[in-house]
């Protein structure tokens, strides 16, 4: 009676199709990328050769057939020029005897591409599939010497068929085993997965390497964190997934587990890719001194600087510990207010009999719906000392105008009020959803037993709300901890950075002070603090699960 049984074969078929599509995609990119790398490298090598060997090197370069033409030019600044930064290029040597020694000005009009090249010695792909590369050197007198080489299109790059077929076969085997229930066989999937991983790495490795090599055109001893972190992610992620799946399968023969892995697989793989790469990039950056496109490894220096507050007193606003305390108070205050107001409103709005409840609900999410960039600035305007509505309203009660952003507590309060306004709708929506998980007959039973509203809330609503609310509170606390734009837009850290939280500090270090490594170390510390926090919350989650 199970119609789905008929279509059981679709599983492996789909697995094969997906694997094949992925394989073709990877292969396609790999082959193209590989040819590109080789071509670029050889063209650049030829140009570099010319630059070091001077005009005489042109003759040596005629020998390799792939070089179509090459030449050396150098620039000079005319004497007594009005604009000392103007350069005049002069040809010195050329593989084409007809162009030997021609002043460049005359060669220019009919050869715009040559002009492009002389101006900048980048590797360019020609329409015919070849490459043109140059090398340049700035001499002491502000003169520039440029060498150019053009490469014929390379032969086709062979496709690593064996490696690809191996990967496909292994993937097929793996998925076939996973979807058929053959509990006795636990070796094949693991082996298959291992082969697939190796083959994939073999395919991807050089590709990532190639990307790595090309990313920084002028790699003056700088660490390329982007490429390295991606390679690292590939190396870490794949075996992790494989080991996790294989190990888990070995641990148990229950088909339930396989079902579970298949259900969570797509989400976790996607997340792993998109989170792990940036994460490793950030961690890598934290150990460097980075700025202006280059980075040098400095070990733990950034962390030491932060934790020692660079000689600032602990109570100074720019010290790590002061900011940490502010961040914790900020998070606690916001979460309490968000959850309190959100839950209160949800309790008022959950009644099916309430009139206009749909209208209320929609109006209450307005703070969430309108882009916060503008509303945060409206709030800032409302807190203006002289022209803000807040002081105006307080004035009606005889309060003298408050300069909100010149004292720590008032400035902090302004931030919290703004963020509460922005954040409670989300908690209200979550609470509305969570409240629906409580069966209504429990309340009926309770009121029959004579429990009043408060007792019902305390003994039914709160405990039963836990499973659905605790996750939102935990995630909410993490988000609030890293809530950047409200503080940046409303108080801006005033007075004197005291209302900054860790994330706004990190932002300032990175984007206002060019200390990317230092900022990344801040981010790593934020991450570690939240990690400790999450270990605590695990207990509550477990407790909440117990309720369910």
Partner 1 sequence: MNRPGPWLPFLLAACLAALLPGCAEPPAPATPGGRTELVLWHAYRGAERGALEDTIAAWQTTHPDVEVRALAVPYDAFVDKVSLAVPKGNGPDVFIFAHDRLGDWAQRGLLEPLGFLADEPLLDRFQRATLDPLVYGGELYGLPLAFKCLALYYDRALVSAPPATTDELVTAAKAARAKDPQNWGIAWELDSLYFHAPWLHGFGGEVYRDDRDTLAIDSPAAAASLEFVRGLRDREQVIPPEATSALVTTLFRGHHLGFVVSGPWFRGELEGVEGWSVAPLPVVSQTGLPARPFLGVEGMFLSRRSTQKALAFDLMSALTGDDAARRRFTAGGQLVANTAVYEDAAARGDAFSQAFRAQAARAVPLSNRPHMRRVWTPMKDALSAAIVHGEPAAPALQKAVTEIARAAE
Partner 2 sequence: MLRHLFLIPFCLATLFPALWVVKMAFRAEQAFATDLNPLPVEFSLQNFETLMSDPLFGRQLLNSLLVATLTTLLGVFLACTAAYAFSRFRFPGRRAGLMFLLVTQMFPGTMMTIPLYSLMESLGLLNQMAGLILVYSTTAIPFCIYMLKGYFDTIPRELEESAIMDGAGPFTLFWRIILPLSRPAIAVTALFSFMTAWNEYILAATFMSDERAYTLPVKVQSFVGDYTTEWGHFAAGALIVSVPVMALFFALQKHLVGGLTAGSVKG
Please count the other Cβ atoms lying within 10 Å of the Cβ belonging to residue 501: 26
For the bound state, the minimum distance from the C-beta of residue 64 to partner 1, rounded and expressed in Å, comes to: 24
Kindly identify the residues of this chain, within the stretch 371-410, that bind partner 2 according to CB under 8 A. 371, 373-375, 377-379, 381-382, 384, 387, 389, 392
251 CB-contact burial (10 Å; exposed 0-12 / middle 13-18 / buried 19+): exposed
Please give the residues from 337 up to 366 whose contact with partner 1 meets the rule CB under 8 A. none
Q: How far is CA 437 from CA 345, 433, 469, 530, in A?
A: 17, 7, 11, 29
In the list 275, 314, 399, 543, the residue contacting partner 2 (rule: CB under 8 A) is 275
- Tokens matching residue 504: 């706004």
313 binds partner 2 (CB under 8 A): no
Q: Which does 15 bind (CB under 5 to 8 A by kind): partner 2, partner 1, none?
A: partner 1
**125: three-class secondary structure by DSSP:** strand
Binding residue for partner 1, selected from 454, 512, 535, 539, defined by CB under 8 A:
512
| Cα gap 357→435, rounded to integer Å | 15
Sign of CA dihedral 483, 486, 487, 489: positive
**Is 259 a residue that touches partner 1 (CB under 8 A)?**
yes
SS3 assignment, position 396: helix
**What distances in angstroms separate CA 420 from CA 260, 332, 341, 390, one per listed residue?**
38, 12, 9, 16
Secondary structure of 409-442 as H, E, C letters: HHHHHHHHHHHHHHHHHHHHHHHHHHHCCCCHHH
Using DSSP's 3-state secondary structure scheme, residue 327 falls into helix
Structure tokens at 364: 């209450």
Distance CA 30, CA 203 (A): 7
Which residues, 301 to 320, sit near partner 1 by CB under 8 A? Answer: 310, 318
**CB nearer partner 1, residue 94 or residue 380:** 380
How many residues sit in the footprint of partner 1 (CB under 8 A)?
75
Give the whole-angstrom CA distance, residue 486 versus residue 500: 10
CA-based nearest residue to 317, from 505, 156, 129: 505
| Residue 179 found at the interface with partner 1 (CB under 8 A) | yes
118 binds, among partner 2, partner 1, none (CB under 5 to 8 A by kind): partner 1
For residue 361, give the H/E element and its range: helix 357-364
Q: How far apart are CA 316 and CA 323, in angstroms?
A: 9
Q: Does 462 bind partner 2 (CB under 8 A)?
A: no
Given CA atoms 162, 167, 171, 174 in this order, what sign does their dihedral have?
positive
Phi and psi of 132, rounded to 5°? -125, 135
Identity of the residue, 418 or 477, whose beta carbon is nearer to partner 1 in the bound complex: 418
Among 154, 222, 530, 540, binds partner 2 (CB under 8 A): 530
Report if residue 291 touches partner 1, rule: CB under 8 A. yes
Query: Which listed option, partner 2, partner 1, none, makes contact with residue 18 (CB within 5 to 8 Å by class)?
Result: partner 1
Q: Kindly tell me which residue out of 162, 381, 395, 433 binds partner 1, with binding defined by CB under 8 A.
A: 381
Q: Give yes or no for residue 248 binding partner 2 (CB under 8 A).
A: yes
C-alpha angle 454/460/464, rounded to 5°?
135
Of 333, 495, 529, 541, which one interacts with partner 1 (CB under 8 A)? 495
Cα separation, 358 vs 370, whole angstroms: 18
Q: Which of partner 2, partner 1, none is residue 271 near (CB under 5 to 8 Å by kind)?
A: partner 2
Q: Look-up: residue for tokens 């309108």?
A: 370
Stretch touching partner 1 by CB under 8 A, among 83-91, 349-357, 360-368, 434-442: 83-91
- Binding of partner 1 at residue 521 (CB under 8 A)? no
Stretch in the footprint of partner 1 (CB under 8 A) among 108-116, 322-330, 483-491, 534-542: 108-116
Q: Is residue 236 involved in binding partner 1 (CB under 8 A)?
A: no
Residue choice 34, 87, 99, 186 for contact with partner 1 (CB under 8 A): 87
Asked whether position 42 contacts partner 1 by CB under 8 A, the answer is no
Show the site string, 25-44: x = touches partner 2 by CB under 8 A, - = not: ----x---------------
CB nearer to partner 1: give 361 or 515: 515
State the Cα–Cα distance between residues 178 and 251, nearest whole angstrom.
Answer: 14
Question: Is residue 56 involved in binding partner 2 (CB under 8 A)?
Answer: no
Q: In whole angstroms, how close is the CB of 271 to partner 1 at the nearest point?
A: 13
261 forms part of the interface with partner 2 (CB under 8 A): yes
User: Is residue 513 involved in binding partner 1 (CB under 8 A)?
Assistant: yes
Q: Cα–Cα distances in Å, from 181 out to 174, 263, 402?
A: 12, 16, 71
* 140 is a site residue for partner 1 (CB under 8 A): no
Q: Give, as ranges, the residues between 415 and 474 that touch partner 1 (CB under 8 A).
A: none
* 103 vs 381 by CB, closer to partner 2: 381
Does 265 help bind partner 1 (rule: CB under 8 A)? yes
Q: Does the footprint of partner 2 cover residue 168 (CB under 8 A)?
A: no
131 binds, among partner 1, partner 2, none (CB under 5 to 8 A by kind): none
> Minimum Å distance from CB 541 to partner 1?
24
What are the tokens at 102?
């021609």
Contact 203, 235 (CB under 8 A): no
Tokens 């952003």 correspond to: 405
SS3 of residue 313 by DSSP:
coil
* Contact present, 491 and 407 (Cβ < 8 Å): no
- Report if residue 539 touches partner 1, rule: CB under 8 A: no
Nearest residue (CB) to partner 1, 403 versus 530? 403
Among 181, 439, 452, 513, binds partner 2 (CB under 8 A): 439
Q: Using DSSP, state whether 74 is helix, strand or coil.
A: strand
Which partner, partner 1, partner 2, none, binds residue 45 by CB below 5 to 8 Å per kind? none
Kindly state whether residue 129 participates in binding partner 1, applying the rule CB under 8 A: no
Stretch that binds partner 1, among 24-32, 117-125, 154-162, 480-488 (CB under 8 A): 117-125
């Amino acid at each position: 009676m199970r119609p789905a049984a008929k279509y059981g074969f679709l599983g492996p078929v789909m697995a094969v199709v997906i694997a094949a599509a992925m394989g073709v995609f990877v292969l396609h990119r790999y082959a193209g990328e590989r040819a590109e790398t080789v071509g670029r490298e050889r063209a650049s090598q030829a140009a570099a050769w010319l630059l070091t060997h001077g005009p005489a090197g042109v003759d040596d370069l005629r020998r390799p057939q792939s070089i179509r033409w090459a030449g050396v030019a150098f620039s000079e600044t005319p004497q007594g020029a009005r604009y000392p930064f103007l350069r005049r290029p002069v040809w010195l040597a050329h593989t084409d005897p007809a162009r030997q020694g021609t002043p460049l000005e005359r060669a220019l009009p009919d050869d715009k591409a040559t002009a492009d090249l002389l101006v900048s010695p980048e590797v360019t792909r020609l329409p015919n599939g070849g490459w043109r590369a140059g090398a340049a050197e700035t001499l002491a007198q502000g003169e520039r010497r440029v060498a150019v080489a053009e490469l014929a299109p390379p032969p086709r790059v062979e496709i690593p068929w064996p490696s690809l077929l191996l990967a496909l076969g292994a993937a097929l085997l793996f998925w076939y085993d996973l979807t058929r229930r053959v509990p006795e066989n636990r070796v094949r999937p693991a082996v298959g997965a291992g082969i697939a991983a190796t083959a994939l790495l073999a395919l991807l490795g050089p590709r990532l390497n190639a990307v790595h090599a090309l990313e920084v055109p002028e790699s003056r001893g700088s660490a390329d964190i982007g490429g390295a972190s991606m390679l690292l992610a590939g190396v870490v992620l794949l075996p992790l997934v494989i080991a996790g799946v294989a190990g888990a399968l070995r641990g148990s023969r229950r088909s339930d587990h396989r079902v579970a892995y298949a259900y969570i697989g797509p989400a976790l793989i996607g997340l792993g890719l998109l989170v792990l790469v940036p994460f490793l990039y950030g961690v890598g950056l934290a150990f460097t001194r980075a700025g202006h496109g280059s980075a040098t490894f400095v070990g733990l220096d950034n962390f030491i600087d932060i934790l020692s507050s660079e000689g600032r007193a602990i109570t100074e606003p720019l010290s790590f510990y002061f900011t940490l305390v502010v961040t914790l108070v900020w998070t606690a205050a916001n979460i309490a207010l968000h959850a309190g107001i959100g839950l209160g409103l949800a309790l008022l709005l959950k009644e099916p009999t309430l009139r206009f409840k749909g209208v209320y609900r929609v109006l209450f999410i307005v703070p969430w719906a309108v882009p916060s960039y503008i509303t945060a600035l409206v709030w800032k305007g409302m807190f203006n000392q002289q022209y803000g509505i807040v002081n105006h309203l307080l004035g009606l009660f005889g309060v003298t105008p408050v300069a909100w952003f010149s004292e720590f507590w008032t400035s902090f309060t302004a931030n919290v009020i703004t963020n509460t306004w922005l954040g409670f709708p989300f908690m209200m929506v979550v609470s509305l959803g969570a409240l629906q998980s409580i069966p209504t007959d429990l309340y009926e039973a309770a009121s029959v037993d004579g429990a009043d509203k408060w007792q019902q809330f305390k003994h039914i609503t709160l405990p039963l709300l836990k499973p659905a609310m605790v996750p939102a509170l935990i995630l909410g606390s993490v988000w609030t901890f890293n809530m950047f734009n409200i503080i940046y837009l409303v108080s801006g850290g005033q007075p004197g950075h005291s209302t900054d939280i860790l994330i706004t500090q990190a932002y300032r270090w990175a984007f206002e002070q060019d200390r990317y490594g230092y900022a990344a170390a801040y981010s790593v510390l934020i991450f570690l603090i939240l990690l400790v926090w999450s270990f605590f919350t695990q207990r509550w989650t477990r407790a909440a699960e117990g309720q369910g």
